[in-house]
């Protein structure tokens, strides 16, 4: 039994972390800079963010490597340092996890390539496999417990990414997709289609993250749960909807809103629950305390609306690229 299955078996549900990008911007990251570069240049700041999520109650923390493939790092002149950047990201998270007085797992965040596969784009499946394989090697070297492919929108990318990871490691694999376009992913994937594919691939867990609205994520989680058999399901919704206040982007989902959402997705069958863009340790702390029964469930009704075909505003670093 792998580390993820063991800890989930012990606790019944696991609390994930929240946004990384949101916290990086609060710490001084400038739009256009590489968040992953901080793993090398400001490792103490990255570990501090992870440490705050552990203190809030996270059982799994995700590395600061969302854009850690060569496809994304080349935008910042770091594509020749893929292994170094990702190994550093893993070590930074590992340091916070290993300080805890309980077992905390580290998941290696692996975001989308930012490019389309042929025939819609120029990337080939083999190139996607190689890109994810190279990132997975660095994350595994740095000590992650899980490889976590997130915010994906196309099933062919998901499948190629999983093949790439499996070329280089036998660590557990989790995948999540972003439902941000009329209840589907940007590439038209439904929760049912995702659930059926992950069941066929035999993944260790899968689900939904980011997305346009909390409602979209909840609907996708329910469909994935129905289609994926006994595979554990993940929910990592944004902290509500982003709203501009002057020159700053704020999310309208309070900790109470996300905690009520966490209970709903747990009741719908999700067992790995956290938050995504716009969230922080305060959201995770409320989620953890409500799911454990330490605090009552907030009296907040489920939102009724699903997204339209018009995408929501883009998010923080995951405002730029997603995942956080």
- CATH number of domain containing 15: 3.20.20.330
Q: Express each pLDDT in 71-89 by its tens digit.
A: 999 999 999 999 999 999 9
| pLDDT at residue 304 in the model | 63
Q: Are 254 and 299 in contact (CB under 8 A)?
A: no
* Residues 6+ positions from 201 with CB-CB distance below 8 Å: 159, 162
For residue 314, is pLDDT > 50?
A: no
C-beta neighbour count of 163 within 10 angstroms: 16
Residues 159 and 172: their CA atoms lie apart, in Å, by: 15
| pLDDT at residue 156 in the model | 95
For residue 315, is pLDDT > 90?
A: no
For residue 322, is pLDDT > 50?
A: no
Helices (H), the chain: 3-11, 21-26, 38-41, 43-56, 70-73, 82-99, 125-142, 155-168, 191-201, 214-227, 255-267, 281-292, 317-320
Q: Express each pLDDT in 91-119 by its tens digit.
A: 999 999 999 999 999 999 999 999 999 99
Q: Cα–Cα distances in Å, from 239 out to 64, 82, 189, 218?
A: 19, 30, 23, 13
Average per-residue pLDDT for the chain:
92
SS3 159: helix
Q: Are 29 and 286 in contact (CB under 8 A)?
A: no
| pLDDT at residue 182 in the model | 86
SS3 8: helix
Q: What's the structural domain count of the chain?
A: 1
Q: Are 196 and 157 in contact (CB under 8 A)?
A: no
What value, to the nearest 5°, has the Cα angle with vertex 168 and ends 170 and 127?
A: 130
Q: Is the dihedral of CA 313, 317, 323, 324 positive or negative?
A: negative
Of residues 154, 77, 141, the one with CA closest to residue 113: 154
Binned at pLDDT 50, 70 and 90, residue 323 comes out as very low
Q: Express each pLDDT in 203-238 by its tens digit.
A: 999 999 999 899 999 999 999 999 999 999 999 999
* Residues 6+ positions from 44 with CB-CB distance below 8 Å: none
| pLDDT at residue 307 in the model | 53
For residue 316, is pLDDT > 70?
A: no
Q: Express each pLDDT in 26-73 by its tens digit.
A: 999 998 899 999 999 999 999 999 999 999 999 999 999 999 999 999
Q: Domain residues for 66?
A: 3-320
Binned at pLDDT 50, 70 and 90, residue 282 comes out as very high
Work out whether strand 205-210 and strand 60-62 pair parallel, antiparallel, or are unpaired.
unpaired
Pair of tokens at residue 45: 């700041």
| pLDDT at residue 221 in the model | 97
Model confidence, pTM = 0.92
For residue 169, is pLDDT > 80?
A: yes
| pLDDT at residue 235 in the model | 98
User: What would the mean pLDDT of 134-141 be, rounded to a whole number?
Assistant: 98
For residue 151, is pLDDT > 50?
A: yes
Binned at pLDDT 50, 70 and 90, residue 320 comes out as very low
């Amino acid at each position: 039994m792998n580390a993820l299955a063991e800890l989930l078996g012990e606790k019944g549900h696991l609390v994930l972390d929240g946004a990384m990008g949101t916290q990086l911007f609060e710490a001084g990251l400038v739009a256009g800079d590489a968040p992953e570069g901080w793993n090398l240049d400001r490792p103490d700041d990255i570990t501090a963010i992870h440490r705050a999520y552990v203190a809030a109650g996270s059982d799994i923390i995700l590395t600061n490597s969302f854009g850690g493939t060569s496809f994304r790092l080349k935008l910042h002149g770091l594509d020749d340092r893929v292994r170094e950047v990702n190994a550093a990201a893993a070590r930074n998270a590992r340091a916070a996890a290993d300080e805890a007085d309980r077992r905390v797992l580290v998941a290696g965040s692996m975001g989308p390539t930012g490019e389309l596969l042929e025939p819609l784009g120029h990337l080939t499946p083999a190139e996607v496999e190689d890109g994810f394989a190279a990132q997975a090697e660095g994350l595994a070297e740095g000590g992650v417990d899980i490889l976590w492919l997130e915010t994906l929108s196309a099933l062919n990318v998901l499948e190629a990414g999983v093949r790439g990871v499996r070329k280089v490691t036998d660590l557990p694999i989790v995948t999540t997709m972003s439902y941000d376009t009329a209840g589907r992913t940007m590439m038209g994937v439904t929760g049912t289609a995702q659930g059926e594919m992950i069941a066929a691939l035999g993944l260790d867990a899968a689900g939904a993250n980011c997305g346009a609205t909390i409602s979209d994520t909840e609907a996708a989680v329910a469909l994935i749960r129905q289609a994926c058999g006994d595979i554990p399901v993940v929910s990592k919704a944004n902290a509500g909807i982003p709203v501009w206040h002057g020159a700053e982007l704020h999310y309208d989902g309070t900790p109470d809103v996300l905690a009520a959402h966490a209970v709903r997705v747990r009741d719908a069958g999700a067992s790995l629950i956290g938050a995504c863009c716009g969230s922080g340790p305060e959201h995770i702390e409320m989620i953890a305390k409500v799911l454990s029964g330490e605090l009552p469930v907030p009296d907040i009704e489920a939102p009724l609306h699903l997204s339209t075909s018009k995408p929501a505003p883009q998010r923080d670093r995951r405002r730029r690229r997603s995942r956080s």
